[in-house]
Amino acid sequence: MHRLIVIAGIIMAGQINISEATRLVTDRELELTGFQEAAAFKPVCDFRNDFVMVYGTGDDRPDYIKSWVEKGYVPHFMTGIAWGGYQDFKDLNGNNIMSLAQTRADGTQWLHGKMTPYIVPSVEFADYICDKLEPIIDSGVKAIYLEEPEFWANAGFSDAFKREWRLFYDEPYERPGSSVDAQYKTNRLKYYLYQRAIRRVAEKSKEYALHKYGRELKIYVPTHSLINYTQWGIVSPQSSLIDSNVVDGCIAQIWTGTARTPNVYQGRLAERTFETAFLEYGVMQELVRGTGRKMWFLHDPIEDNPKHDWQDYRFNYKETLIASLLHPHIWRYEICPWPSRILTRKYPSNSQNASYIPDDYLTTLCIVFNQLRDMNQQEITWTNATKGIGVFIADSSMFQRAEPAESLAQINEKDPSKAGRKDIEHFSGFYGLTVPLVKLGIPVMPVQLDNAARFAGYLNDYKVLVLSYEFFKPQNPALNQAVAQWVANGGSLVYVGGDTDPFNQVSSWWNSGENSYKAPSQHLMQQLGLDKDAPTGEYEYGKGTVFIERCHPAHFTHSAAAGEKYINIIKPACKAAGLEWHENNFIQLRRGPYIIAACLDESVSDKPLELEGLFVDIFHHELPVLERVKIKPGSHSWLFDINKIKKDKAEPIASAARFESWEQSGSNVIFKLSCPENAKIVTRIYLPAKPVKMSIDDMAFSDYKWDEKSSTLFFESPDKPRQSIEINW
């Protein structure tokens, strides 16, 4: 039996008092789950969640919004801020939207589709978007989502961008690839441009809604994770969104397509969807931790690439789903983008074996979509976990992803103090510090360094922090000061890096004015009371400890031996911080009555994770009751623990339909279910005793299964999207 370590949960703003409600019976105004769709209401897409984000700025969108509202959905709206159907844009000189296209060094343009460029967001363009949004606000939406503010790192050669350079820097334009300084400055400008665009659109839209209708409009930003944007070579505002009071939160756009991006572990390049998704969702949880801003985690039951089959989609969806559920302080979800893409298309595309979604997968999805409304749980318990280790990452990691980054890297990987070109390509500096820990069952968190100076006490939840300035830079000296203060208060800091990154040469605070450091780490060392070139070793500072390793963090991805070297640095850091060390081939978390577990491959053991108790398998279309669960390496489970149910009353456990209401009186319960068209409705509920009578829509019903050991009732309803059930026992 595994020893349990209880970790105190973070209570987010607006948390629901779940103890006073019936499980799974929730008010849509809580906006716990939603999806995006660029069409009017369709019964087949009626997943019965809380809100819909109608997509796009066409003239028909107000009618689309009305159609969803009439079916009970809370109306939201989403449009792209970096691309979209903006072909009617004209600037003051009469130029169309292509004049704002992001452009590569060879003059080619970044396109999302025909006449749909990725955009250099000028002030004119932001004002154009504001005008587009006014009829949407008139239609009564409660929130607007400005999706994916993205500027490609290898762009920055257009006339539109050159104008922005002159306005921002007040100096002649420099070609981005001409030096590390020019590239860094280019991407810092891109970062600013989308900050400006979002702020301008948000402020004007909020003012319009409040002035005209007296309505408070919310503005959210759906965005990929900082990890993914960095690896894919995209610049986006990320943590700076929190600096603006007009941005109310984000959607973490993480799905199979981002998480299956290969990385290197023990010298092998491979897709590691679960591990990557775990880190991606983690950094997005960190983005809003302690801010009171809302965050929805996105899942996608398929992905943008239509050439995979349903088995691939299902497996990777489960990996990303479980990864997200292992972050217990987020409990709102975008259940899927584009329901019609899932329900009305065949996959793999262009294949004679293409087929529509399998019935059992559709039923499973309906169960999952409903169950996600029950994840705001106050009991958070990790099993046998080393909890309290974080690895820093910062927004400036996006500034180092284009030329001359690769050409200045070593061609091979012989020098462990330097990054090779493949290391740069695969973002191995970051993964070398994180994946070895995840593979040992350690729920390590990517920590947003930029927030360390924004919020007092931001680092207090961590005992051990790992930092390297080899793949990002601190944007101001206050960040080093915050880290040093955390160490002085008793933390263990592991610093990895040989100060070999060419981007140390960029013009910034550490080498300007009175400062003449060759790297920002030298300033950090002095803040820690050390020589600025302190060698590999262990040092004390205040109540804490500093461990220095003078190699490049990408080195830890090159072989099993290199990875073990890294772990042997982290272990004494944990000991110094009083953090007990555990190695497992699993990560397991309890959230209230739910157990979320991942058994890891490439780990310390090939032994399956075995659980005993009385569980319902949430990710199974028949919601089976299980007394023993065996999770093989590379597999994952989401279980409902029946033993956590209060035995004195009936209670919903799970269903492919939404529980619209639940009324119990004595030994009788009446509840209503609703679900999408053509979906198989399966339901399992707990009853204090075996039923003696059951009816559906006033018709006697006896085709149910009673499980005596769990005191639960399972039934498959007739194929009706709305129904009322009454049970007596």
pLDDT in tens, 337-365: 999 999 999 999 999 999 999 999 999 99
- Cis, bond preceding 135 (omega within 30 deg of 0): no
Same domain for 569 and 698, yes or no, is no
Question: Would you state the pLDDT for residue 677?
Answer: 86
pLDDT in tens, 46-85: 999 999 999 999 999 999 999 999 999 999 999 999 999 9
Question: Would you state the pLDDT for residue 678?
Answer: 86
CB 223 within 8 A of CB 250: yes
Q: Which residue has the higher pLDDT, 410 or 272?
A: 272
Same domain for 416 and 564, yes or no, is yes
Same domain for 563 and 685, yes or no, is no
pLDDT in tens, 319-343: 999 999 999 999 999 999 999 999 9
Rounded Cα distance between 66 and 139, Å, is: 8
Same domain for 429 and 562, yes or no, is yes
pLDDT in tens, 186-219: 999 999 999 999 999 999 999 999 999 999 999 9
Same domain for 423 and 566, yes or no, is yes
Range of the domain at 669: 651-728
CA nearest neighbour of 716 among 371, 374, 370, 360: 360
Q: pLDDT class for 6, splitting at 50, 70, 90?
A: very low
With H, G, I as helix, E, B as strand and everything else as coil, classify residue 503.
helix
The CATH number assigned to the domain holding 716 equals 2.60.40.1180
Task: Establish if 98 belongs to a structural domain.
Answer: no
Same domain for 692 and 561, yes or no, is no
Q: In what order do the strands lie in the sheet with 389-393?
A: 445-448, 389-393, 464-467, 492-496, 544-549, 537-541
CB 664 within 8 A of CB 649: yes
Same domain for 522 and 393, yes or no, is yes
Query: How buried is 16 (Cβ within 10 angstroms: 0-12 exposed, 13-18 middle, 19+ buried)?
Result: middle
**Is 50 exceeded by the pLDDT of residue 34?**
yes
DSSP line for 184-247: HHHHHHHHHHHHHHHHHHHHHHHHHHHHHH----EEEEEE--HHHHHHHTEE--GGGGGG-TT-
With H, G, I as helix, E, B as strand and everything else as coil, classify residue 716.
strand
Task: Establish if 314 belongs to a structural domain.
Answer: no
Task: Establish if 567 belongs to a structural domain.
Answer: yes
Mean pLDDT of the chain: 95
**Is 70 exceeded by the pLDDT of residue 117?**
yes
CB 258 within 8 A of CB 316: no
Token pair, residue 711, equals: 């005191």
Rounded Cα distance between 232 and 53, Å, is: 26
pLDDT in tens, 648-685: 899 999 999 999 999 999 999 999 999 988 889 999 99
Secondary structure letter of residue 298 according to DSSP? E
Same domain for 548 and 665, yes or no, is no
Question: Would you state the pLDDT for residue 4?
Answer: 35
Query: How buried is 9 (Cβ within 10 angstroms: 0-12 exposed, 13-18 middle, 19+ buried)?
Result: middle
CA nearest neighbour of 68 among 25, 36, 31: 36
Task: Establish if 502 belongs to a structural domain.
Answer: yes
| Of 531, 560, 576, the domain-final residue | 576
pLDDT in tens, 252-307: 999 999 999 999 999 999 999 999 999 999 999 999 998 999 999 999 999 999 99
Question: Would you state the pLDDT for residue 361?
Answer: 98
Residue percentage of the chain with pLDDT more than 70: 97
CB 280 within 8 A of CB 252: yes
Relative to beta strand 658-665, strand 668-674 is antiparallel
Task: Establish if 660 belongs to a structural domain.
Answer: yes
pLDDT in tens, 139-176: 999 999 999 999 999 999 999 999 999 999 999 999 99
Token pair, residue 612, equals: 């005993």
Question: Would you state the pLDDT for residue 11?
Answer: 32
The CATH number assigned to the domain holding 431 equals 3.40.50
Chain centroid to CA 207: 30
Region 430-437 average pLDDT = 98
**Is 80 exceeded by the pLDDT of residue 521?**
yes
Task: Establish if 439 belongs to a structural domain.
Answer: yes
| Of 576, 594, 620, the domain-final residue | 576
CB 590 within 8 A of CB 379: yes
Region 480-494 average pLDDT = 98
Rounded Cα distance between 598 and 586, Å, is: 5
CB 418 within 8 A of CB 498: yes
Task: Establish if 492 belongs to a structural domain.
Answer: yes
Token pair, residue 716, equals: 């498959």
Rounded Cα distance between 235 and 271, Å, is: 23
Torsion of the alpha carbons at 664, 668, 674 and 675, rounded to the nearest 10: 120
- In sequence order, what E strands does 361-471 have? 380-383, 389-393, 445-448, 464-467
Task: Establish if 564 belongs to a structural domain.
Answer: yes
Question: Would you state the pLDDT for residue 18?
Answer: 37
Question: Would you state the pLDDT for residue 607?
Answer: 98
Question: Would you state the pLDDT for residue 5?
Answer: 34
Token pair, residue 4, equals: 């349990």
Same domain for 547 and 680, yes or no, is no
CB 695 within 8 A of CB 684: no
Same domain for 566 and 691, yes or no, is no
Same domain for 464 and 552, yes or no, is yes
pLDDT in tens, 85-103: 999 999 999 999 999 999 9
| CB proximity list for 314: less than 8 A, separation 6 or greater | 301, 361, 364
Q: pLDDT class for 238, splitting at 50, 70, 90?
A: very high
Relative to beta strand 635-641, strand 594-599 is antiparallel
Rounded Cα distance between 287 and 298, Å, is: 15
Continuous segment of H or E residues that includes residue 364: helix 359-371
| Of 544, 576, 608, the domain-final residue | 576
Q: pLDDT class for 414, splitting at 50, 70, 90?
A: confident
**Is 80 exceeded by the pLDDT of residue 715?**
yes
Instruction: Count up the domains in the chain and report the number.
Output: 2
pLDDT in tens, 530-560: 999 999 999 999 999 999 999 999 999 999 9
Same domain for 554 and 408, yes or no, is yes
With H, G, I as helix, E, B as strand and everything else as coil, classify residue 292.
coil
Token pair, residue 44, equals: 């087949």
**Is 70 exceeded by the pLDDT of residue 14?**
no
